Structure 1
Amino acid sequence: MTTRRNFLKNTGVAGAAGLLLVQGAAARGVGAHADREVGKKFWPEGARLVISVSMQFEAGGQPANAESPFPQNMQAGYRDLPAETWYAYGYEEGIPRMLDLWDKFGIKVTSHMVGEAVLKNPALAKEIVLRGHEAAAHGMRWSTQYAMSREEEKKFIDDGVQAVKHATGATPVGYNANWLRRGENTLAILQELGFRYHIDDLSRDEPFVTTVNGKPFAVVPYTIRCNDILLVEGKNFSADQFLNQLKLEFDQLYDEAAVKRRQMSISFHDRIGGSPAMVAAAKQFFQYALKQKGVVFKRKDEIAKWILAEGK
C-alpha cells in the first residue's frame, strides 16, 4: 500500500526539507508511541497538541420565535414562550455550569459573545472575563451580516464590540459571524477595527496567517465536527456519542501532531453544552485527553498572537 510519504518521495513532489521532516518523524514511530519531543517544532513550550474550546454566549440575543427544539409551527403574532425558556437556560444554568467545569480543569476558553445577549446579562459576561476567559465578538445580534452594505456591517460589528467592552471591560480581538457566514467585506472590516483573528474557516486543522488589507491576519479554525449545536441539538448525536466523537478526533490529531502542527477545536453553546449530560461528557473527555503528554488548552487570542508572531 502506497503511503503519501512514499508517494511524495517517489514522485519528487515534496522538497528536501519536507522529506527530512516526514522521514525523521517516521523513524521515530508516528502514532500513539511516537516521540513526544517532535511536537516542540510546532507549538511553544513543548506542546504537542493544542485544544481550543469555544463557549458561545448567545442566549438572550436571539430574535423573536428563533429556532429551537420545538416544532416551528407557531402562528403569526404569538410568542413562543417555551422556546424562550429554552434559551434562558443558557444563562441561568448552562454558562455557570460550564464555568465551574473549566475551573475544575484549569482550562481557559474563548467565549464568542452576541452583543444583545451580553447587554441583557452583563454580570455574567463580566464573570466570564474575571474567571480568565477570552471575550470574543459574535455580532450585535443574530443577523445575516453577509447581506449588509459595507457601512451597515461595520457598524453592526463595532456595536457588538462596544457592547462586550461595556459589559466586561475587555476589547474583543477575535470574531465569529452568525453561522460562520461572513461577507465579502468582513475580513477587511475586522482588520480596520483592530481585530487580530477570525474563526469562520473550516479549511484546516491548524491556525494560519493570511493577508488582509496588506497586513497579516490570523485564522484560528472553527469546527462543525465537534460542535454541540450541529451534532446534539441537530438530533444526530446523544451526549455519549458526542464524547466518542471527541475521543476519535483527539486520537487522530494527536498522532498527526508528531509531524505537523495540529489544533483541535471544540464548540459548546450556552443552552446545549451547559446541560448536565453534556458537561459530564466534556468532563470525561478532558480527563481522557489530559492523560497524554504535551496536551494543552489555549484561548484563541493566545493562539492568534503566537501564530502571528511566527508569521505562518
Structure 2
Amino acid sequence: MATRKEFLKTAGLVGLAGMVNPTVAMAQAAAPKAARSGPGWADGSRLVVSVSMQFEAGGQPDNPESPFPRNMLKGYKDLPAATWYEYGYKEGIPRMLDNWDKYGIKVTSHMVGSAVEKNPALAREIVQRGHEAAAHGLDWSPQYMLPYEEEKKFIQGGMEAIRKATGITPVGYNANWLRRGDNTLTILQELGFLYHIDDLSRDEPFITKVNNIDFVVVPYTLRCNDIQLIAGQWFSTDQFLRQIKMEFDQLYEESAKRKRMMSISFHDRIGGTPQLVKATSELFAYMQQHPGVVFKRKDDIAKMALADKHTIRE
C-alpha cells in the first residue's frame, strides 16, 4: 500500500422452567414491543463497522476547549492551545490516512467548513483516497437556536466549502456536539442530504420521514469516541482499546441473529496521535480476524438502509 508521501507524489493532491408471575406476564404481553430489525445486512455482511474521522482543526474559535486550563486573562489568545489544534491537520489526519490505507478501510470524514477553507488540499486528499466527505457545519458555532433561514445559510456555507475544495457535494451531516434544532432535518432534506448522525438511540441505521420523504439516521457514538474517553475522561490507550474491544465482542455476538452496526469516532488532534493510531492498528487487526466484519462509509450504509425493506422505520 502506498504511503501518504508516495500518494501525494503520484496524485499531486489531485423460558426458565417454573411458575411465572401472572401480573408480570400480563404486563409483558400488553407492553408494546420495540421495533427490531429483521434479517441481517442485505449484502451478507455480519457486522458493519462505521468509522468517523472528524476534520475540525483550523476551524476552532479563539481560546477553544483544550487540555490547557481555561485561565487565560481576557483579551489574550491561548497560543499553546492553538498548536494543539494545528497538530490535527499537520500530523493527525495524515497519520490516520496512512493507517486506514494499511487496513484497507474507508471512513467518513465530517468536515467543518472553515477548517476545510484553511486546508483545502488536505480535504481534497481525503476524498482522493476514497473516503467520504460529510458536512459538519460552517464553523464551531451552535446551530440549534438559529432561525430557519440563518441555519440554512450556516449549513449551506459548510457544504459549499467542501464542494469547492473536493468537488463533492456532501450527503451526510453532523451538528456541533450533535445538537441539531427543530428545523435541522427539514433543512437537510431540502438541501439534498441523505442522512444525519446526530442520534445515539440504536446500534443500526433506521429510517424516518422528513417532509414525507425517507431520511436515514446512521447513529453516532459517545461510548467509542476519543474526544469523550481520551480527552474527556483521560482514558489511557489501553483502557480505550479494551472498551472498544468489549463493545465489538458484544455486537459481533448479537450480529449472529440481527443487523448490527458499530460506530467509532476519531478526532484529528486526538485520534491521530502516535499512541492512539498504534492502539487503533491493534483494534482493526483484531476486528478483521472475525468473519463477516466489514468497514463501510456512512453514505454507503445509508444507501443500503434505504434499499433494504427490513430497515427499521420510525
For 2:258, the equivalent position in structure 1 comes to 260
What one-letter code is carried by the residue in structure 2 that aligns with 1:222?
Answer: Y
Give the 3-state SS of the residue equivalent to 1:210 in structure 2: strand
- C-alpha distance in 2, partners of 1:259/1:115? 40
- Matches of 1:245 and 1:127 in 2, distance apart? 31
**Alignment partner of 1:106 out of 100, 104, 107:** 104
Output one character per residue of 1:232-266: Cα deviation in whole Å (capped at 9) or x when no partner. Answer: 00133111111001100000000011111100000
- Aligned equivalent of 1:29: none
Aligned pairs for 1:1-312 within 5 A? 41-311=39-309, 312=311
Aligned pair count reads 288
Deviation at 1:14, TM superposition (A): 10
Q: Which secondary structure does the structure 2 equivalent of 1:136 belong to?
A: strand
CA displacement at 1:273 relative to structure 2? 0.2
AA aligned to 2:177 is: W
Structure with greater proportional helix content: 1
CA distance in 2, matches of 1:181, 1:14: 31
The answer (yes or no) to whether the contact 2:42–2:308 under 8 Å persists in 1 is no
Q: Secondary structure at the match of 1:266?
A: strand
C-alpha distance in 1 between matches for 2:123 and 2:221: 23
Structure 1 2/97 Cα, relative in aligned 2: closer, same or farther at 3 Å? farther
Q: 1:85 to 1:307 in 2, by over 3 A?
A: same
Structure 2: unaligned runs, 5 residues or longer:
1-14
User: Structure 1 CA distance, aligned partners of 2:149 and 2:304?
Assistant: 31
Distance 1:240 1:61 in 2: 30
CA deviation after TM superposition for structure 1 residue 147, in Å: 1.0
Tell me by how many angstroms 1:174 deviates.
Answer: 0.2
Cα shift readout 1:2-25 (whole Å, capped 9, x = no counterpart): 59xx999x965799xx99x8xxxx
Q: Which of structure 1's runs of 4+ aligned residues deviate more than 6 A? A: none
For the residue of structure 1 that corresponds to 2:208, the secondary structure is strand
TM normalised by structure 1 equals 0.88
Q: Distance in 2 between matches of 1:133 and 1:224?
A: 22
Distance (whole Å) between structure 2 residues aligned to residue 235 and residue 223 of structure 1? 15
Structure 1 residue 44 displacement after superposition = 2.9
Aligned-partner residue type, residue 114 of structure 1: V
Identity of counterpart residues, as a percentage? 67
Structure 1, residues 151-180: CA drift from partner, whole Å, max 9, x if none? 000000011000000001111000000000
Cα separation, 1, equivalents of 2:150 and 2:72: 31
* Alpha-carbon distance between aligned partners in 1 of 2:218 and 2:30, rounded to the nearest angstrom: 28
Tell me the secondary structure at the aligned position of residue 62 of structure 2. Answer: coil
What is the alpha-carbon distance in structure 2 between the residues aligned to residue 79 and residue 11 of structure 1?
A: 59
Assess if the C-alpha contact under 8 Å between 2:143 and 2:151 holds in 1: yes
SS at match of 2:231: coil
User: SS where residue 112 of structure 1 aligns?
Assistant: strand
Q: Against the structure 1 CA distance between its residues 144 and 2, is the aligned structure 2 distance closer, same or farther, given a 3 Å change threshold? A: farther
Gaps of 5+ in 1: 22-40
Equivalent residue letter for 2:130 = G
1:6-60 CA-partner distances (Å, limit 9, x unpaired)? 999x965799xx99x8xxxxxxxxxxxxxxxxxxx31133210000000000000
TM-score by length of 2: 0.88
